[in-house]
Amino acid sequence: MIGRSLLRGLRAHRPSASSFNGFGFNMSPASASRAPLRRLHCYRLTHRTVLRAQGPDTEAFLNGLFTNDLGPLFVDEDARPSAIYSHCLSVQGRVIHDIIVYRLQADEPAVLIECDTGMAQSLHEHLCTYRLRRRISLTAPKEGQKLSVWAVVPAPLQTERPSLEVPVLACTNDPRTEYLGLRLIMNADVPVTELLVGSTERPVLQYEQFRYQLGVPEGPRDLPSGVALPLESNLELLNGVSFSKGCYLGQELTARTHHTGVIRKRLLPVTLDPSPLDEVVLDGTEVLSEDGRRAGRLRSHVGSFGLALLRLSQVRRGLRLQAHSNFPAFSLSAQQPPWWPQNQQLFLDEAGQNK
């Protein structure tokens, strides 16, 4: 939903029926005004794409495969959310896809499923495997090439849906955390900067660094498929899981971990010093404490900023990372993400209890 305070001087752009073949387009009309704007940074997320799912069984089918409860998307109320964050798990309970599900206005239940571009075919095959006789249709991944996914930071102050002349299928606050601003899905031929006055497009690498500073994982580099665990990846703190909706594929390990209340490792934002070259420090490099104890592993980084899966009992100690014998060790510091709840303690004692 784009705000009246954000849109002025919109170019008239009426997409043809073929522009969204397989995806549909139905937005409520609204007008735009000329209120002053904050400076907005727009990032075209080429590493993200979308699939469309539609049919009478959409809600029940996806709820059986995704960690979060998608029911609120299908409630016929104005207060319903526009998007929900979730994970798709393997039978063993490990992350195979991180997704954002957007509701669409259509004659029957319909959603867009945002996922990693390189994993779109895998997600499509996974959904088709479990579809069986469900009354649901799934678009091929190539259809997603007609659309683009954008992040806009910071989020607009006031929002509402754009008019039919604006080629936007989904526009909502990022469901993971308000720090990530706005998420849009729109016609790939139109840059979002044509719709938002006072906005500028920035390199996607800057978005990656910004996201790493916040400590929010996205895609298989941060959440290795078949390796990452949902709660170690802060899924419950990013509004991505329901512990009350009922059964879904791979839920047993997540439910058991939540019940015990003990999570000894967490994915945390880290800063490397000095700033390394990407080819010097590889993803998966082991992180050690100053006394040489294993503290975790670096998942990914861009320059000085990255994500590391760390033992919380070791975070208070000095951390280092030995990239290569020909290079000196890098010091590594972990931070508590700003979106963590205040009662969520970063540091644990050796027994895994909050300090």
- DSSP state letter for 235: T
Give the model confidence (pLDDT) of 35-86 as tens digits. 344 688 999 999 999 999 999 999 999 999 999 999 999 987 766 789 999 9
CATH class belonging to 262-355:
mainly beta
| pLDDT for 189 | 87
| pLDDT for 145 | 87
| pLDDT for 326 | 66
Each domain of the chain, given as residue ranges in start order, spans 26-214, 262-355
Q: 5 or 317: which carries more pLDDT confidence?
A: 317
| pLDDT for 345 | 64
Closest CA to 47 of 235, 204, 181: 204
Distance in Å from the first CA to the final CA of the chain: 41
User: Any bridge partners for residue 302, and if so which?
Assistant: 305
State the average pLDDT over residues 246-256.
Answer: 95
Considering the entire predicted model, what is its pTM? 0.85
Of the pLDDT bands very low, low, confident and very high (cuts 50, 70, 90), residue 155 is low
State the average pLDDT over residues 245-269.
Answer: 94
CATH, domain 26-214, list 1.20.59.20, 3.30.70.1400, 3.40.50.1100, 3.10.200.10: 3.30.70.1400
Coil/strand/helix, residue 254? helix
Beta strands in the chain, from DSSP E residues, in sequence order: 40-44, 48-54, 83-89, 95-103, 110-116, 137-138, 147-153, 168-173, 182-187, 199-201, 265-273, 286-289, 294-302, 305-311, 319-321, 330-334
| pLDDT for 5 | 32
| Range in 7-11, 65-69, 113-117, 296-300 with the lowest mean pLDDT | 7-11
Give the model confidence (pLDDT) of 189-213 as tens digits. 888 888 887 789 999 999 999 999 9
State the average pLDDT over residues 3-10.
Answer: 32
Of the pLDDT bands very low, low, confident and very high (cuts 50, 70, 90), residue 121 is very high
Same fold, 26-214 and 262-355: no
Q: Residue with structure tokens 């979106």?
A: 339
Residue 321 has pLDDT above 50, yes or no: yes
Q: 152 or 32: which carries more pLDDT confidence?
A: 152
